[in-house]
Structure 1
Amino acid sequence: MRYKILEKVSLFKGFFKFEGFTVQHDTFKGGSLTINRELLERGDAVAILLYDKHYDEVLLIEQFRIAPAVRQDNAWMIEVVAGMLAEGEDKVECAIRESIEEAGYAPSNVQYLGKTYASPGGTSECLYMYLGFVDKDKPVAEGGGLDEEHEDIRSFWVSREEAVKMAQDGRINSSVPMLTVMLAFGVNGVIS
């Protein structure tokens, strides 16, 4: 299957970029289709679940998010540490930097879990997920986010089992944190 980008236009440039595309692609029935699509360009990101194996606990964060707020849903979302990759930045170094900024911990061992597209029908953002091992008794910073990024982040520890339950019962209701917990610790499927 092939595709060709026929046209790309800038629709808006602010904190994020919004671009329009005209694309021609092969169809499953044979032939081709020409479509117009808009895309939010926001760069790639990392997410890291911090884990203390001595206590068998994970660190989760909570912060205000505009998307659920405008839907009149709970605007304070439970998540894992995450952040945007700077251009040319190493993904693991970004995960460690974000861990220090948001949670106050510097993981000593970081394991890759996988990658996912946030919402491939509307944004190019690709997220790289990691598990980071820390000692909860040895924070290296205060955490809570950066003032210059207007972050207000609360971090808290829960048991590994509780984190999995939170992903299953919807208390963690953002896809990347949910997937990160599932990839790190596994979840029993509906069909076993």
Structure 2
Amino acid sequence: MKNIHILDTKVLSDNWYTLKKVSFEMTGTDGAKSILEREAYDRGNGATILLYNKDNQTVVLTRQFRLPTFINGNDTGYLIESCAGLLDQDNPEDCIRRETEEETGFRIEQVEKVFEAYMSPGSVTELLYFFVAAYSNDMKLHDGGGLEEENEDIEVLELPLEKALEMMKSGEIRDGKTIMLLQYAQLKGLML
């Protein structure tokens, strides 16, 4: 294990989330010490979920605009994703229940945590908690779409799992968390 000592932290931006420049000393495996600087974007931790229906062999996903993808060449900027949100002050389970209802319109009670992962550890501090949950039509309270006060404009998609897997292969689905959950559903046989 490398010894890390933080030497200095400067806040570069505290607008949407917090971007920090961190200077630190690191002792390598050979015992040599190096002083390095890195930037880290702190947006808090989050949770994501794949809703699945065994009877209908379907999953619920969302589509919404993501500026960074647009800047990086995604022609429309819209991504198909699993429902997700930041924890804020909630624990991961309460967060994902809240986000599921806000974004998809489904009220779910039983969620299963399947794993957690850092999605972009070279620059973003976020730890993402991954969940799956069964859903049925009687759990639908409203159309979903997100919160107006958060300027969310989310389209809810109910797709056959097989179609979602094909969309992943064709590049129509390119969101990392969604790909991980779809592969989890396939590997674990959630629809069996």
TM-score under structure 1 length normalisation:
0.91
Q: Structure 1, residues 21-51: CA drift from partner, whole Å, max 9, x if none?
A: 0111122333222100111110011001111
Equivalences, count: 186
Q: Give the counterpart of 1:85 among 76, 84, 87.
A: 87
Paired with 1:68 and 1:62, the residues of 2 have a C-alpha distance of: 13
Q: Secondary structure at the match of 1:99?
A: helix
| Alignment partner, residue 145 of structure 1 | 146
**Would you say the 8 A contact 1:18–1:38 is kept in 2?**
yes
Shift of residue 97 of structure 1?
Answer: 0.5
Q: Which string of whole-angstrom CA distances, capped at 9 and with x for unpartnered residues, describes residues 101-149 of structure 1?
A: 0000012321112111121111101111100111035401220010000
Give the SS at the match of 1:29.
coil
Q: Are the equivalent residues in 2 in contact too, given 1:50–1:107 (CA < 8 A)?
A: no
Query: Alpha carbon RMSD of aligned pairs, Å?
Result: 1.5
Determine helix, strand or coil for the equivalent of 1:63.
Answer: strand
> In structure 1, how many angstroms separate the alpha carbons of the residues matched to 2:165 and 2:117?
19
Alpha-carbon separation, structure 1, partners of 2:23 and 2:139: 52
Is the CA contact (8 Å cut-off) linking 2:7 and 2:24 kept in structure 1?
A: yes
SS at match of 2:162: helix
1:186 match: secondary structure: helix
Distance 2:65 2:140 in 1: 23
CA distance in 1, matches of 2:54, 2:110: 12
Q: What corresponds to 1:109 in structure 2?
A: 110
Deviation at 1:93?
A: 0.9
Q: Could you state the TM-score of these two structures normalised by the residue count of structure 2?
A: 0.91
Counterpart-to-counterpart distance in 1, 2:48 and 2:12: 29
Aligned equivalents of 1:53 and 1:98: distance in 2? 22
Q: Which runs of 5+ in 2 are unaligned?
A: none
Match of 1:166 in 2: 167
What letter corresponds to residue 13 of structure 2 in structure 1? F
Q: State the 1:71 CA deviation.
A: 2.2
Structure 1 runs not aligned, ≥5 long? 188-192
**1:139, 1:98 → 2: CA distance?**
14
- The corresponding residue for 1:190 is none
Contact 1:47 1:128 in 2 (8 A): yes
Matches of 1:82 and 1:108 in 2, distance apart?
Answer: 16
Q: Counterpart of 1:185?
A: 186
